[in-house]
Amino acid sequence: MKIVESKSGAPTLVIGERYLHSKYDPVKEAQREISAVAGDNPAVLVILGTGLGYTITEALKILPNTKILAVESNPDIYRLMMENRQISESERIFFVVGKNRESNFEAITRCIDASAATCIKYISRLSVLDDKHYSEITEMIGKVAEMQIEGLNSMVRFGPLWWENSVRNYREWAELPDVSGWFGAFSKTPVFIFAAGPTLSDNLDLFADGEGGLRFAVDTAYPILVKAGIRVDAVFAVDAQKMTLAHFEGAQPDLLLGAPVIPPELWKLAKKSVILSLDGPHFSWFDIALGRRTARLKSGGSVTTFAFDLARRMTAEKIILVGADFAHRHGRRHSSGTAYEHFTDLIQSRFFSIESLNRQNQIQRDGFETESQLAQYAQWMKWEIYETSRPVFRTADFGLLKDVPVIDRAELKKIISTARPEFYRPNFHPVDSRFLIEAFKMEKIALQFAMNGDATALRELSGFFDPIIRPYAVVSQREELSAKLLNELFDKLRSADRILDEVISGSAENVKSEP
């Protein structure tokens, strides 16, 4: 590996007999590469193989609004580039260097947000130097983009409801402890995570034989566990739809771990509650308004992924997945007995079965019938499990997590037969919820100002309104918003204004009625 001078005088890199850049003019070569994709106005330009960084430099000049994801598998080439090229510091450049999957995944997810996923272009001339690695990176970028697009689609459908529930849950934001009180505190305790996949019921009989292990349940699995008489230490709920309430009919959880976007009525069903936050400008706004950070858990889209992230941040001795299949069995995505199954029974006609309804969305992945959404959740779990230092097991040899070992049945019995572990609600000093009401008043003033101005005034709104505005902001980065979309957005903002009125006036009434 050596640097030599090209005919134009610019340095070029040679590995063995191979020139990584033009022998004549590396700068013009890079300009041609960037110009070939510039007409598409990409949101992200992925450069597979940086060489000495000519494409990075020219991309910064030619594509002033584009993020640059610069991928280099060889740290020595990256070092030479940084030593020999004066690459301007820019918030638009994200480097993916070497072959550490965790750091690469983090760099990619920092770069590929929902806006970036709308148009990704590749410069791949140097990818032949390490075909296998760059193919893996390209696949990872594709998976991250898919998850971001899926998240954006969810925000289009549910963003206003997330926002409304979060605002109506202002007391929970201020007065509940968060999950950070458990971080690092359970290094000698195994944790079971009960998901609602088809294999959930396969080994439930074992759990009647003892009290061992902490037991976390996703809300969908909760009614099955209650019916089987299995102790549940905490139930996770993160969905905003009223359907979430159906999982708790006739079963009051001892401890609810809820995201602030869940239906407000759900908090009342639990004996005790703990809050967990999510990533995004809206949730960061609450941190600022409250003067403290509410712990965020990583979301791969599924409630199971939240439970997994908490278990590993608790430093659980081992994590055992029950029913985390992410695949269909006999046409079913859930174990029999969930509220979803009952709901499907109510809406289906006599010409359809649950299996036929599920089959409409089926795809094949790794030899299993599944859905694209479930496959995305499984991919997130695979990445996170790969980088988790604690051992992770499954209880059944089924589903998309094929690389996760199945726990020996005798070992499973041994864990279950141990004593019930101590579990506690974290200590916490609540914040006065009136701080949030005052902050809501300021946001209401800003909202009214924005709605009385032109469309550009919307840009002045804070991240508080992000769940409502983001889908429209993403569209506006690619093209001008149509009159129809603007009217749709203003309708949602007028609804938000009415909700703020209701919450602010309701809080005043509550204060008056308190002794």
Q: What is the reported pLDDT for 114? A: 82
| pLDDT confidence band for 350 (50 / 70 / 90) | very low
| % of the chain beyond a pLDDT of 70 | 93
Distance of CA 198 to the CA centre of its chain: 24
Tell me the three-class secondary structure of 299-353, residue by residue.
CCCCHHHHHHHHHHHCCCCCEEEECCCCCCECCECCCCCCHHHHHHHHHCCCCCC
**pLDDT-based confidence at 340, cuts 50/70/90?**
low
CATH assignment of 169-416, given 3.40.1440, 3.90.1480, 3.40.50, 3.30.70? 3.90.1480
State pLDDT tens for residues 93-117.
Answer: 999 999 988 789 888 988 998 888 8
pLDDT per residue as tens digits for the range 414-448: 999 999 999 999 989 999 999 999 999 999 999 99
CA–CA dist 158, 379 (Å, integer): 23
Tell which wins on pLDDT, 85 or 80. Answer: 80
Domains of the chain by residue range: 2-148, 169-416, 432-508
DSSP 205: G
Q: What is the pLDDT of residue 222?
A: 96
pLDDT of 510 reads 64
Q: Residue 348 above 90 pLDDT?
A: no
Q: Residue 357 has what pLDDT?
A: 45
Q: How confident is the model at residue 352 (pLDDT cuts 50, 70, 90)?
A: very low
Residues 6+ apart with CB under 8 A from 412: 203, 206, 320, 395
pLDDT confidence tier of residue 146, bands split at 50, 70 and 90: confident
- Confidence check: pLDDT of 346 > 50: no
Q: Write the CATH number of the domain with boundaries 2-148.
A: 3.40.50
* Residue 343 pLDDT greater than 50, yes or no: no
pLDDT higher than 90, residue 298: no
Cα distances from 349 to residues 115, 331, 340, in angstroms, run 40, 17, 16
Asked whether residue 502 carries a pLDDT value surpassing 60, the answer given is yes
CA geometry: angle at 256 spanning 254 and 260, to 5°?
A: 160
Neighbours of 411 (CB within 10 A): 12
DSSP-derived 3-state class of residue 283: helix
Least confident of 111-115, 227-231, 347-351, 430-434: 347-351
State yes or no: pLDDT of 359 exceeds 70.
Answer: no
Determine the pLDDT at residue 344. Answer: 45
The pLDDT, as a whole number, for residue 57 is: 93
Phi then psi for 215, rounded to 5 degrees? -130, 105
pLDDT reported for residue 458: 84
Lowest mean pLDDT among 92-96, 146-150, 185-189, 354-358: 354-358
**pLDDT the model gives residue 509:** 65
Look at residue 512 in the predicted model and tell me its pLDDT: 46
Q: Which residue has the tokens 């074992």?
A: 206
pLDDT band at 300 (very low <50, low <70, confident <90, very high): confident
pLDDT at position 437, please?
97
| Mean pLDDT, range 356-361, rounded to an integer | 52
What is the DSSP-derived secondary structure letter of residue 484? H
pLDDT at 238: 95
pLDDT (tens digit per residue) in 234-268: 999 999 999 999 999 888 899 999 999 999 999 99
Reported as a single tens digit per residue, the pLDDT across 35-76 is: 999 998 999 999 999 999 999 999 999 999 999 999 999 999
For residues 202-206, give the mean pLDDT. 90
Nearest Cα to Cα of residue 372 among 307, 278, 301: 301
What integer pLDDT is reported at residue 85 of this predicted model? 67
Q: Sheet of 18-19: strands edge to edge?
A: 2-5, 11-15, 18-19
Q: Which pLDDT belongs to residue 356?
A: 47
Mean pLDDT taken over the chain: 89
* Residues constituting the chain: 515
